Amino acid sequence: MKTFHTVAELRAELKKERLQDKSIAFVPTMGNLHDGHMSLIRRAVKEGDVVVSSVFLNPMQFSANEDIERYPKTLEEDKKVLKANGCHYLFAPDAKEMYPDGKRSQTQIEVVGLSNILCGATRPGHFVGVSTVVTKLFNIVQPDCAIFGNKDFQQLKVIEDMVRDLSSNVRIIGVDIARNEDGLAMSSRNGYLTEEERRIAPAMYKTLLWAKDALLENRASHEDIREQAQQKLETAGFKRDYFEIRAQDNLQTPSEEEKSLVILAAAYLGHARLIDNLRIELA
């Protein structure tokens, strides 16, 4: 696996691959990689002749009250696992390479309607940072397809809408959530949990499963299910952010006729903000 730190070097290398008519599959990350990320790399190996990943801790998607300095930086370890799982090229730029004039002067991309709800309401500007950096990375790598995890379902929808609205020809592939044996969704932020918090954390997935059963059995209204779920999380030790039932296609409040739903949860456990979701199809 080759590692590049500048746009020019990566573009020159990938140009050689394209001249050989090789397809490119891309997996963007912020580093501190775990088995969930590797499931994306393994899918990329199946989708493309050449697998490219990026490790870039994007300052644009961290709000003022979030400490980007606390985010784990494990580039050398990341290189080893990427190579072991079939990645051919790693792009690991610094902030100056990505934002030469600083992030405040950077042209921004906003997906209207999706960027300011759910996680976007709690983290103002977060999804503008996501869509902006992903657009830049797509322009740099020019992949045939890009692989994202379904754990951040809102992010996946933002990127899908962005690609559609900007007439990009990058094919977006979502991969199922990778979970630990106890159901906790794999996340770099799980490393913030204390031993006791890690014991509590699977309660989020259990609460999602409870809500799914309640919806399938039509035991209560959406509003009652949401509030009961919040109470279950708070009893377990979480601090609430949101617990919502939305339409899968646009993440808006569903009509009574809507059958394709997604249950989304975000909550704080100690210093960690955890997110998870379950999709559901009603009969």
5: how many CB neighbours lie within 10 A of its CB? 12
Residue 219: CATH number of its domain: 3.30.1300.10
Look at residue 283 in the predicted model and tell me its pLDDT: 85
5, 34, 37, 222: which one is catalytic? Answer: 37
Residue 180 lies in a domain: no
Look at residue 115 in the predicted model and tell me its pLDDT: 97
For residue 141, pLDDT over 80 is answered with yes
Token pair recorded at residue 148: 């994202």
CA distance readout (Å), 255 to 153, 193, 198, 251: 20, 37, 36, 12
Residue 23: CATH number of its domain: 3.40.50.620
Residue 67 pLDDT class (50, 70, 90 cuts)? confident
Among 175, 204, 234, the domain boundary falls at 175
Among 122, 148, 175, the domain boundary falls at 175
Among 119, 142, 175, the domain boundary falls at 175
Residue 256 pLDDT class (50, 70, 90 cuts)? confident
How many independent structural domains does the chain possess? Answer: 2
* Three-class secondary structure of residue 265 per DSSP: strand
Residue 143 lies in a domain: yes
Active site residue 37: yes
- Average pLDDT of the chain is 96
Q: Could you report the per-residue pLDDT of 18-56, keeping only the tens digit for each?
A: 999 999 999 999 999 999 999 999 999 999 999 999 999
Read off the pLDDT of each residue in 134-142 and give the average, rounded to a whole number: 98
Q: Residue 261 belongs to what domain range? A: 188-278
Residue 250 lies in a domain: yes
